[in-house]
């Protein structure tokens, strides 16, 4: 067996996604139009507003009966309820990752192209160099065994160099000690390029060591070298570690008594069980999958930033259409139509080839589910419609419906973005899959929007101040 030793001292940290800053809630002026007062009431006295909406539901029902529309509002609610019983039990699934390094490399190159299209002014030379570094894994003349631990590894390196008897040519890669209380619990990136990992521990284990072990990916071949003090029961130490880490097996724990050399036979047997080419092919595939996942996260962050810009433009365009249009039926149609235009830009942003019919059906499907789940209460829609029929109160009803339409646009867009992110890479959209996943996606999107509700109200107040103060004439 041929052994060589060299040290890796620093790994490039992965990018972190900072949390989006939250806008402070600005004070609401005492003067202003009725829509601003309603926004303040929704923020400060939600119980009062909720009671008012309950009373409004009865009023709407009575009014529609006298207008000759019968049970139309309740039929709409019942129809929406059907969608609640069609909740999907299956999460969105992206297409399976290829199990061939060459195919995985093609996917990484496609992401580089996506970065270029999304931000043409940003150079991609660093991404290309990062991908190129993984090219030589299959050409290495030796297997790479990484040594990692929370303490110095000089003694471990000497023991492994002299005690590991294998038919494979192995290069030992000694990493710097892991911190006991790091700011970020993240394993060194160089481990992804190692064929196998030997984690060196001191018994009994501390909390930091247990946490580091739990971070090792399940598909990363690794063994634990357990350094036991004199007088410790080796089998008992192994069983104690297995009880703490049930994902391990006994063959992956190598006890090292204080007065003897470690038994590295199980490790050598595992390394000899596969050819060097097989090991390196698995390592290259694993490293490419990690790189693809990391790039996908960065790309998704850029897409969400572009989506925020699209929403700022679209949500208030929708609100303006609903506010100025005195015909309620067209208002309800204006939301999915505008959302379809928004989804068209989103499809281009996520690189999805959808036709106009698919976009329209997707927009209507998500909007119906949002209404059925109460994200935008149907009572506010019908109440706004009723107010529009009484010209003097038109502005108040229009404000409710306009802001509801803007909120519906945000929820629909976020739900669709989640769907596109989950199924990224699928060439053709599956409308039936959207129908199955729509309730869960909309519920998650609504929950995310609640976290930024104060910021949305601030934007709504600013938009309302720019609207004409005089009620429209029917």
Q: Over the stretch 106-159, which tens digit does the pLDDT of each residue have?
A: 999 999 999 998 888 889 999 999 999 898 898 899 999 999 998 888 999 999
Q: What is the CATH number of the domain that holds 208?
A: 3.40.50.300
Q: Are residues 349 and 429 in the same domain?
A: yes
Q: Which of 234, 257, 273 is at the close of a domain?
A: 273
Q: Over the stretch 399-412, which tens digit does the pLDDT of each residue have?
A: 667 777 777 777 77
Q: Which of 273, 308, 328 is at the close of a domain?
A: 273
Task: State the Cα–Cα distance between residues 372 and 289, nearest whole angstrom.
Answer: 39
Q: Over the stretch 421-458, which tens digit does the pLDDT of each residue have?
A: 776 643 334 445 544 555 665 566 656 655 554 565 56
Q: Is the pLDDT of residue 256 over 70?
A: yes
Among 93-107, 121-135, 195-209, whose mean pLDDT is lowest?
93-107
> Residue 315 has what pLDDT?
78
Q: Are residues 440 and 377 in the same domain?
A: yes
- Which pTM does this prediction carry? 0.64
Q: Which of 230, 255, 273 is at the close of a domain?
A: 273
> Residue 86 has what pLDDT?
37
Number of domains, the chain? 2
Task: State the Cα–Cα distance between residues 429 and 104, nearest whole angstrom.
Answer: 22
The total number of residues shown for the chain amounts to 474
pLDDT band for position 194 (50/70/90)? Answer: very high
Give the relative orientation of helices 72-84 and 431-451 as an angle to the nearest 10 degrees: 100
Q: Is the pLDDT of residue 160 over 90?
A: yes
Percentage of residues of the chain with pLDDT beyond 90 = 21
Q: Is 422 domain-assigned?
A: yes
> Residue 104 has what pLDDT?
94
> In the chain, what's the furthest Cα-to-Cα distance?
95
User: Residues 358, 364, 370, 374: what is their CA dihedral angle, to the nearest 10 degrees?
Assistant: -160
User: What six digits make up the tokens of 222?
Assistant: 């690794």
Q: Is 309 domain-assigned?
A: yes
User: Are the beta carbons of 197 and 149 closer than 8 angstroms?
Assistant: no
User: Are the beta carbons of 13 and 189 closer than 8 angstroms?
Assistant: yes
> What mean pLDDT value characterizes the chain?
70
Q: Is the pLDDT of residue 243 over 80?
A: yes
For residue 220, give the nearest of 264, 168, 270, 282 by alpha carbon: 282
Q: Are residues 183 and 308 in the same domain?
A: no
Q: Is 391 domain-assigned?
A: yes
Output 177 or 464, whichever has higher pLDDT.
177
- State the sign of the Cα–Cα–Cα–Cα dihedral 443, 445, 451, 457: negative
For residue 224, give the nearest of 243, 261, 191, 196 by alpha carbon: 196
Output 117 or 29, whichever has higher pLDDT.
117
Q: Is 173 domain-assigned?
A: yes
Q: Is the pLDDT of residue 334 over 70?
A: no
Q: Are residues 320 and 425 in the same domain?
A: yes
> Residue 79 has what pLDDT?
38
Among 202-211, 299-308, 352-361, whose mean pLDDT is lowest?
352-361
Q: Are residues 326 and 456 in the same domain?
A: yes
User: What six digits make up the tokens of 289?
Assistant: 């999958």
> Residue 371 has what pLDDT?
67
Mean pLDDT calculated for residue range 171-186? 90
User: Are the beta carbons of 350 and 117 closer than 8 angstroms?
Assistant: no
253-257 vs 3-7, strand pairing mode: unpaired
> Residue 57 has what pLDDT?
40
Q: Whose structure tokens read 């003097």?
A: 392
> Residue 395 has what pLDDT?
53
Q: Is the pLDDT of residue 20 over 60?
A: no
User: Are the beta carbons of 164 and 264 closer than 8 angstroms?
Assistant: yes
Q: Is 174 domain-assigned?
A: yes
Mean pLDDT calculated for residue range 388-406? 61
Which residue range is the domain that position 262 belongs to? 140-273
Q: Are residues 307 and 433 in the same domain?
A: yes
Q: Give, for 147, the enclosing helix (H) or strand (E).
A: strand 143-149
Q: Whose structure tokens read 């039990």?
A: 89
What is the DSSP secondary structure assignment for residue 376, as one 8-state letter? S
Output 271 or 7, whichever has higher pLDDT.
271
Bridge partners (DSSP) listed for residue 18:
none
User: What six digits make up the tokens of 424?
Assistant: 């990224």
Q: Are residues 267 and 306 in the same domain?
A: no
Q: Is 260 domain-assigned?
A: yes
Output 103 or 88, whichever has higher pLDDT.
103
Q: Are residues 331 and 452 in the same domain?
A: yes
> Residue 130 has what pLDDT?
92
Q: Are residues 376 and 444 in the same domain?
A: yes
Q: Is the pLDDT of residue 98 over 80?
A: yes
State CA 431 to chain mean position distance. Answer: 22
Q: Are residues 187 and 311 in the same domain?
A: no
Q: Is the pLDDT of residue 291 over 60?
A: yes
Percentage of residues of the chain with pLDDT beyond 70 = 59
Q: Is the pLDDT of residue 469 over 50?
A: no
> Residue 115 has what pLDDT?
92
State CA 461 to chain mean position distance. Answer: 30
> Residue 129 has what pLDDT?
93
Q: Are residues 213 and 338 in the same domain?
A: no
Output 37 or 445, whichever has higher pLDDT.
445
């Amino acid at each position: 067996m041929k052994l060589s030793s060299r040290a890796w001292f620093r790994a490039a940290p992965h990018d972190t996604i900072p949390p989006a800053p939250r806008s402070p809630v600005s004070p609401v002026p005492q003067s202003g139009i009725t829509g601003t007062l309603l926004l303040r009431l929704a923020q400060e006295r939600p119980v009062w507003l909720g009671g008012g909406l309950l009373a409004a539901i009865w009023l709407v029902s009575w009014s529609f009966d006298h207008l000759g529309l019968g049970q139309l509002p309740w039929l709409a609610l019942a129809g929406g309820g059907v969608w609640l019983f069609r909740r999907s039990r299956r999460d969105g699934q992206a297409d399976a990752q290829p199990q061939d390094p060459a195919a995985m490399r093609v996917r990484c190159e496609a992401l580089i192209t996506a970065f270029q299209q999304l931000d043409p002014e940003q150079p991609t030379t660093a991404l290309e160099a990062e991908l190129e570094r993984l090219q030589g894994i299959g050409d290495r003349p030796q297997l790479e065994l990484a040594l990692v631990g929370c303490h110095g590894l000089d003694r471990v390196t000497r023991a492994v160099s002299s005690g590991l008897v294998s038919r494979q040519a192995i290069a030992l890669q000694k990493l710097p000690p892991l911190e006991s209380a790091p700011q970020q619990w993240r394993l060194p990136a160089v481990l992804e390029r190692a064929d196998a990992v030997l984690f060196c521990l001191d018994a009994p284990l501390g909390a930091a060591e247990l946490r580091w072990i739990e971070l090792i990916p399940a598909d990363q071949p690794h063994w634990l070298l357990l350094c036991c003090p004199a007088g410790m029961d080796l089998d008992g130490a192994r069983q104690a570690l297995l009880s703490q880490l049930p994902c391990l097996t006994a063959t992956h724990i190598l006890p090292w008594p204080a007065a003897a050399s470690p038994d590295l036979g199980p490790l050598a047997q595992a390394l000899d069980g596969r050819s060097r080419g097989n090991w390196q092919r698995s390592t290259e595939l694993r490293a490419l999958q990690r790189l693809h996942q990391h790039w996908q996260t960065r790309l998704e962050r850029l897409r969400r930033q572009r989506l925020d810009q699209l929403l700022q433009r679209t949500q208030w365009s929708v609100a303006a259409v609903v506010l100025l249009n005195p015909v309620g039926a067209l208002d309800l149609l204006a939301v999915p139509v505008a959302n379809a235009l928004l989804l068209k830009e989103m499809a281009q942003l996520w690189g999805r080839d959808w036709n106009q019919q698919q976009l329209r059906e997707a927009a209507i499907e998500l909007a119906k589910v949002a209404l059925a789940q109460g994200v935008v209460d149907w009572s506010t829609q019908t109440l706004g419609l009723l107010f529009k029929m009484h010209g003097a109160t038109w502005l108040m009803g229009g404000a409710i419906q306009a802001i509801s339409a803007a909120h519906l646009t945000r929820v629909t867009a976020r739900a669709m973005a989640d769907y596109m992110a989950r199924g990224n890479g699928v060439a053709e959209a599956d409308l039936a899959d959207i129908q199955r996943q729509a309730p869960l996606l909309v519920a998650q999107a609504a929950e995310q929007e609640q976290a930024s509700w104060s910021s949305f109200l601030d934007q709504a107040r600013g938009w309302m101040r720019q609207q004409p103060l005089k009620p429209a004439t029917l």
